């Protein structure tokens, strides 16, 4: 299981690099567009479309965030549960998240097929839209698998927060 987790971490890291490059392109292009539009009255054509494409290209970084535990985790209520209840709550959340990701993956592929059959392109740049639906669909499918892997790892390691006990044996709130 450790090899699988490490493989997902490496793949997630590679996908994060792609996402960071997309973010940098989006930021630089937007700054240049605002500068040129403001000072020279000459905006860069298609900037909004390129920004949309780059946002979609950033979705694969979700896997790296999950696998490296860099996501926001607020356990105000769940951390007070007994370990088995915490694990059950985590399992429910992971399964629900994986199902939503699978549905998003499926819908992404359905939309991709529709865009391909319609030969849909971005208005200004005339770039086909379907590759970005494919990127999104693949990213969501990979994310769903990563969620399941993370859940299995959590169950194997029994990764829960054990409530601290006070000196008199009472569980702290």
- Contact, 150 vs 68, CB < 8 A? no
pLDDT (tens digit per residue) in 47-104: 999 999 999 888 888 888 888 887 777 778 888 888 888 888 889 999 999 999 999 9
Mean pLDDT, range 31-35, rounded to an integer: 96
The answer to whether residue 168 scores a pLDDT higher than 90 is no
SS3 content of the chain, % helix, strand, coil (to 5): 70, 0, 25
Q: pLDDT confidence of 126, banded at 50, 70, 90?
A: very high
Burial of 131 (0-12, 13-18, 19+ CB in 10 A): middle
Q: What is the pLDDT of residue 122?
A: 93
- Contact, 156 vs 100, CB < 8 A? no
Give me the residue spans of the domains in the chain. Answer: 2-157
Mean pLDDT, range 162-167, rounded to an integer: 53
- Cα-to-chain-centroid distance, residue 141: 10
Mean pLDDT, range 139-161, rounded to an integer: 86
The answer to whether residue 155 scores a pLDDT higher than 70 is yes
Q: Which two tokens stand for residue 46?
A: 């298609």
Percent over 70 (pLDDT), the chain: 91
CB atoms within 10 A of CB 14: 13
């Amino acid at each position: 299981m450790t090899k699988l987790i490490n493989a997902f971490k490496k793949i997630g890291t590679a996908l994060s690099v792609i996402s960071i490059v997309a973010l940098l392109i989006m930021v630089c292009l937007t700054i240049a567009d605002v500068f040129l539009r403001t000072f020279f009255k000459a905006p860069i054509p298609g900037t909004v479309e390129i920004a949309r494409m780059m946002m979609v290209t950033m979705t694969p970084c979700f896997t790296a965030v999950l696998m490296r535990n860099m996501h926001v985790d607020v356990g105000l209520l769940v951390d007070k549960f007994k370990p088995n209840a915490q694990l059950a709550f985590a399992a429910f959340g992971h399964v629900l998240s994986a199902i939503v990701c699978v549905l998003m993956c499926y819908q992404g592929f359905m939309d991709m097929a529709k865009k391909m059959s319609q030969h849909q392109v971005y208005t200004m740049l005339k770039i086909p839209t379907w590759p970005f639906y494919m990127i999104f669909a693949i990213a969501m499918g990979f994310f769903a698998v990563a969620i399941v892997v993370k859940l299995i790892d959590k169950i194997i390691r029994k990764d829960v927060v054990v409530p601290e006990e006070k000196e008199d044996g009472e569980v702290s709130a």
